[in-house]
Amino acid sequence: MPKREDCLLRPMRESDLEMVLQWRNSERIREVMYTDHVISIEEHRAWFERASREKRSLHFVFECEEQPVGVVNVADMDKINNKCVWGFYVGAEEVPRGAGSAMGFFALEHLFENMGFRKVIGEALANNEASIKYHLRLGFVEEGRLVEHILKNDQYIDIVSFAIFDRTWYEIKGRLAGKFFVGGR
C-alpha cells in the first residue's frame, strides 16, 4: 500500500512513448483491449500527435514511488453534459502493492475535483474480471451491457458499462483513501 505523497498523476510526455508502447504491445494488455494488434512506433507517434491536439481527450502516466506504473486515458470529454469516458491499464509488470488502486483514486480525484466532471464512464470486456472488480472497488456501478459488441479471437464479446457520479465520489473518497493509502490519506 503506497503513501499518497509517493504517487503522481501527470500528463503523458513524448519521452514516455517508447515505454507506453512497450506496455501497450504486451500480450497481457493487448488481450483486454478493444484493438489487439501490435502497434508500430510510427502508428503510436501518430496517435500521440493527434491526441495532443485533440480537445476532447487527455492522457496521463501514473507514477508510484518514482516508478512509472500505468496509463490513464480520458476521452469523449463532454462539457455540455459534464461527463467523460476513462480507460486505464497498469503497464509495468512489477509495481508496488496497491499502485493500481492508487492510480484509479488519483484519476477520479482529478476528474471530479480538478476538472469538475459530474460523471465518469468506464467499460470492460465482459471476460475481463479484473477490470470489472477494479471498477466496482472504486465505487462504479454497472449501468448496462453491450451484447456481442467486440470481435476478439473470432468470437463476439459483451462490453460491461460502468459509471460513477461526483456525488458518489465525495461520499466514498475518505473510505477509499483509508483502504488505498498508508495512513488513510
Query: What is the pTM (predicted TM-score) of this model?
Result: 0.94
Report the pLDDT value the prediction gives residue 1, as an integer from 0 to 100: 86
The mean pLDDT of 161-181, rounded to a whole number, is 96
What is the distance, to the nearest Å, from the Cα of residue 175 to the centroid of all Cα atoms in its chain?
20
pLDDT reading at 165 higher than 90: yes
What is the spatial distance between Cα 163 and Cα 86, in angstroms, rounded to a whole number? Answer: 10
Report the pLDDT value the prediction gives residue 166, as an integer from 0 to 100: 98
Report the pLDDT value the prediction gives residue 96, as an integer from 0 to 100: 87
Which domains does the chain possess?
A: 4-184 (3.40.630.30)
Bridge partners (DSSP) of residue 121 are 85, 163
pLDDT reading at 103 higher than 90: yes
Closest residue by Cα to residue 64 from 22, 86, 95, 89: 95
In the chain, % helix, strand, coil (3-state, to 5) comes to 40, 35, 25
Greatest CA separation for the chain: 47
Report the pLDDT value the prediction gives residue 183, as an integer from 0 to 100: 77
Q: How confident is the model at residue 146 (pLDDT cuts 50, 70, 90)?
A: very high
pLDDT reading at 185 higher than 80: no
Q: How confident is the model at residue 184 (pLDDT cuts 50, 70, 90)?
A: low
What is the spatial distance between Cα 76 and Cα 74, in angstroms, rounded to a whole number? Answer: 7
What is the spatial distance between Cα 122 and Cα 111, in angstroms, rounded to a whole number? Answer: 13
Report the pLDDT value the prediction gives residue 121, as an integer from 0 to 100: 98
Residue with cell 476521452: 75
Per-chain mean pLDDT for the chain:
94
Phi-psi group of 15: left, alpha or beta (phi > 0 → left; psi -120 to 50 → alpha; rest → beta) = alpha
The mean pLDDT of 176-183, rounded to a whole number, is 91
Strands (E), 6-154: 7-11, 58-64, 67-78, 83-90, 119-125, 141-152
The three-state secondary structure class of 36 is coil
The pair phi, psi for residue 93, each rounded to 5°, is -85, -35
